[in-house]
Amino acid sequence: MLELLLNNNFLSSILAFALILIPAIIIHELGHFFAAKIIGVNVLEFGVGFPPRMMRLFMWGETEFTLNWLPIGGFVRPLGEDMIGPVGDDSDVPVHEDDDETYAEEKPKKSAYISERDELMVRGVPEEKLLSVNQAKPWPRIFFMAAGALANFVSAIFLFIIAALLGIPIEVGARVQIVDIPQGSVFDRAEVEEDDAIELINGEYFRTSEEFFATWQSLQGEDVTLTMRHADSEEGEPGEQYDITVQPEANSVRPYVLVVAVVEDAPAHLAGILPGDLISAINGESLTMPSGVAQVIAATQEYAGTNMMLTIIREGQTLDLVLVPRVTPTKEQGRIGIAIQEIFETNDNVRFTNANPQMELIPQPFDTAVQYGFARVWGTMKMMVSIPAQIIDGTISPEEARPVSIVGISQIGGQFLQRSIREGSPSLILEFLALISIFLGATNLLPFPPLDGGRIVFVLIEIVRGKPVPIHIENAVYRIGIVLLLGLGVVIIIYDLLNPISLG
């Protein structure tokens, strides 16, 4: 079964939908349910899934818990409120007790509001204990409407805490990848493959590539055991780990920056830089350890708008090329329009680059896990608030901040589920569930009807003007909002189907 999940993205996405989206929505609705209980509002039904109804599960007090056929979350049906907006009252009592406007002539003689009250009394609720959402005072009503999001945020904290207790990824060491193995070199004789990575040297982690090369040179002529790992497969399966024993022959290492790609008509392209070139010096000063990439980036900032000379090694020849970095970088091209990669070359001509660091799942003590839970929720919420500003200033592109539908969330969730199974880490899927719970809660607080935030706006207007917005206006706004949200949802779903999201 696990093998089937790992090899079937569609099945993984379906299972992720069931394991991630449905629980997040049910948690949201439970928040509304318990808030209704706290402020005294009667709840007729708590539904798992959406109608049509499959079966009644059980009764808890006055509330009927049901299982429904459409497995897309759940809902709460409090007294006086339907799926679109507040339900009217055809009695002489207005919907809002302090509303001096009545709409008896606009309503049928037998409304859902009255039948709900009768139904609750049949279930044993005394008439004097009946309280609809719209009869509750404004501030308790706001609490009820915001409680779903609060439940999502609280559940996210607990999920992050559990993930930390089970183990969160902690960097334990660097990893150096071999990208070019000359014939006859020590790695060639050991039958190492290009793109294999070094993880341990004599059984020990190394913190940086600089530390690895220092150790490598100090052990010249001695037998050294390297723990290697083959490159990941195209399907994302981690490569096999193996050990080799070699004698280092290198006594020096030179840092370079490899030009991976060049953008047409960018400053680097106009200067004659080509993919595959090695940058060895800037304005006559050689690159130094540990990071040539950082030196190139810093130089393009320092010399923006002025001449900058890059010393290039191309097919054994050394060239000096002059370019002028842009004063204002672009999101896609930066200041000079190249993609670059760190390269280290030893004197036996073996080339290395930095690879992803080594991570291990390390369980955290309870106090650290609690701090981690609160910090992750707070950090995620700050990140969400900053997204509009980042789009405006170009830090992130609109595509990177694209809204995601339930289809897109299921696609991402399926990939997290596969990674969680592959790496034996339940923390990965727990953290993703926590993130989705935060996003669901925050989205519902947006001031757009009929989201919870939109409903809260109407209550705030009621507080300011001293009486509710007329019910027919409120309902009309909710219905327009539903149409717009459904239309937007369809567009986003189609976009996610045509442009599937990949974690890479």
pLDDT in the model for residue 18: 79
pLDDT in the model for residue 3: 56
Same-domain check for residues 478 and 376: yes
Same-domain check for residues 161 and 267: no
Residue 356 lies in a domain: no
Residue 48 lies in a domain: no
**Confidence band of 1 (pLDDT split at 50, 70, 90):** low
pLDDT in the model for residue 113: 46
Residue 203 lies in a domain: yes
In 3-state terms, what secondary structure has residue 344?
strand
Residue 34 lies in a domain: no
Question: Do the Cβ atoms of 90 and 107 come closer than 8 Å?
Answer: yes
393 CB-side CA count, 13 A: 5
**Token digits for 98?**
């302090």
pLDDT, tens digit, for every residue of 357-370?
988 889 999 999 99
Give the residue numbers spanning the domain of 178. 171-251
**Confidence band of 22 (pLDDT split at 50, 70, 90):** confident
Q: Cite the beta strand spans of 285-378 per DSSP E.
A: 285-286, 308-314, 317-323, 338-346, 351-354, 358-362
Residue 357 lies in a domain: no
377 has pLDDT over 90: yes
Distances (CA, A) of 365 to 154, 156, 166, 420, 429: 20, 18, 10, 22, 20
Q: What is the CATH number of the domain that holds 238?
A: 2.30.42.10
Number of domains in the chain: 3
Same-domain check for residues 374 and 450: yes
pLDDT, tens digit, for every residue of 184-227?
888 989 888 989 999 999 999 999 888 998 898 888 888 999 99
